[in-house]
Chains A and B, each alone.
Chain A
Amino acid sequence: MRAALALLLVVAFGAPAFGGHGDTEVPPSTRRFAGKVLALGAPDAKGDLYTFQVSVQEEAVLPLIALRKADAIAKSEFVVAEVKSWRVTFVSGELLGAAYHVADNTPNTVTVVDLYRHGPLNGLKAGDLFFVEEVYFQRRD
């Protein structure tokens, strides 16, 4: 499964790059999953989208680096509610840069709430990439 996800990511980006700051090993600044949208969920009664199906990988690492990094965790699914209340940010596609609060998750679906006011997930497409990070929303006073 891990190889399949790595292949998926290689396909997504073509030939992987090496180097960069990634060659200096430091602890992750926050717990983070990288993931890919596999399919869109059903829209709500208004026709707005807030759910999508995913494939995930612990920590965002380049595919080939992931395969040789001892601390890259091999998993392609979440534990139920594992990333509930975390922040998901899209890093490709129409929603690039948009962040959402995770309302709940199953092993392979994520449902969000628009606490960051980026609107619904309309425009999301299968293949879009995202991070889910252990960052909690805080309201302004």
Chain B
Amino acid sequence: MRRLVLAALLAVTLAQPARAQDARTPTDAVDAFHRALTLANTAGALSLLARDLIVFEFGVTDPTLEQYAFAHMPFDMNIAAATQWKVETRRQGGGGDDWWVVTTYRVTGTDKQGQPIDNTTLETVLLRRTAGAFRIVHIHWSTNDPKFNAQVPGAQK
């Protein structure tokens, strides 16, 4: 059933050409990015990221958009498709062309071994508005899951 729903979502999304998405608000950009990851819309996700993107992901740095896109984004798409991300809290702030969105998600699902995934993931996103559309310039993800954190070299244990 879940596969059918995902297939339907994919069909709807893929009917749209993979062109730049114009997020009019900071939270639109954040939500559209997660949606693009979930739907494996690679071009759509990239269109929401600024060229000077830097990502801190669970103790790891992706210093360029290219490195994030090639090295980690596929994992994030796999995770997004295999889990449900429910917004628990969200705040946004900023002004002019520079904004931030801070969100906590309850992430649930099942990993490849059939073990449950259930954690709180913390997300800080910095955004810049260019030509009327918001692009993500920084993402910082972390989690409260000690088991997950213990796997990450250099992360606090």
Question: Residues on A close to B: CB < 8 A?
Answer: 13, 16-30, 32, 34, 59-62, 87, 89, 91-92, 96-99, 115-118, 129, 131, 133, 135-141
B12-38 near A? 1/0 per residue, CB < 8 Å:
001111111000000000000000001
> Is the beta-carbon distance between A59 and B14 smaller than 8 angstroms?
no
B111 within 8 A of A: yes
Q: Are B112 and A19 in contact (CB under 8 A)?
A: no
Shortest CB-to-CB span from B97 to chain A, Å, is 21
A15 to B11: give the CA distance in the assembly, Å.
38
Q: Which residues of A contact B72 (CB under 8 A)?
A: 17, 20-22
B62's nearest neighbour on chain A, judged by CB, is A17
Count the B residues whose beta carbon is within 8 Å of the partner chain — how many? 53
Contact A24 B117 (CB under 8 A): yes
Could you list which residues of chain B lie within 8 angstroms of chain A, going by C-beta atoms? Answer: 10-11, 14-20, 38, 40, 42-43, 46-47, 51, 57-62, 65-67, 69-83, 109-113, 117, 141, 148, 151-155
Q: Which of chain A's residues have a CB closer than 8 A to the CB of B47? A: 97
Residue of B with least CB distance to A136: B14
CB-based nearest B residue for A88: B42
Asked if B152 and A18 make an inter-chain contact with CB atoms under 8 angstroms apart, the answer reads yes
Contact of B151 with A19 in the complex, beta carbons under 8 Å: yes
Taking a contact as CB atoms under 8 Å apart, the answer to whether A135 and B82 are in contact is no
Which of B74, B80, B109 contacts A60 (CB under 8 A)?
A: B74
CB distance B61 to A17 under 8 Å?
yes
User: What is the CB-to-nearest-CB distance from A116 to chain B, in angstroms, rounded to a whole number?
Assistant: 5
A69 to B99, CA, bound (A): 39
Contacts of A34 in B (CB 8 A): 70, 74
Known: A13-B70, A20-B60. Is A98-B43 also a contact (CB below 8 A)? yes
Distance, CA A13 to CA B29, complexed state (A): 27
Alpha-carbon separation in the docked complex, A104 to B19 (Å): 22
Chain A residue numbers with a CB within 8 Å of B155 are: 19
Q: Are B62 and A22 in contact (CB under 8 A)?
A: no
Distance (whole angstroms) from the CB of B41 to the closest CB of chain A: 8
A17 B111 Cβ-Cβ under 8 A: no
State whether A18 touches B16 (Cβ < 8 A).
no
Is A89's CB under 8 angstroms from B46's CB?
yes
Instruction: Say whether, besides A24-B79, A34-B70, A117-B19, A89 and B42 are in contact (CB < 8 Å).
Output: yes
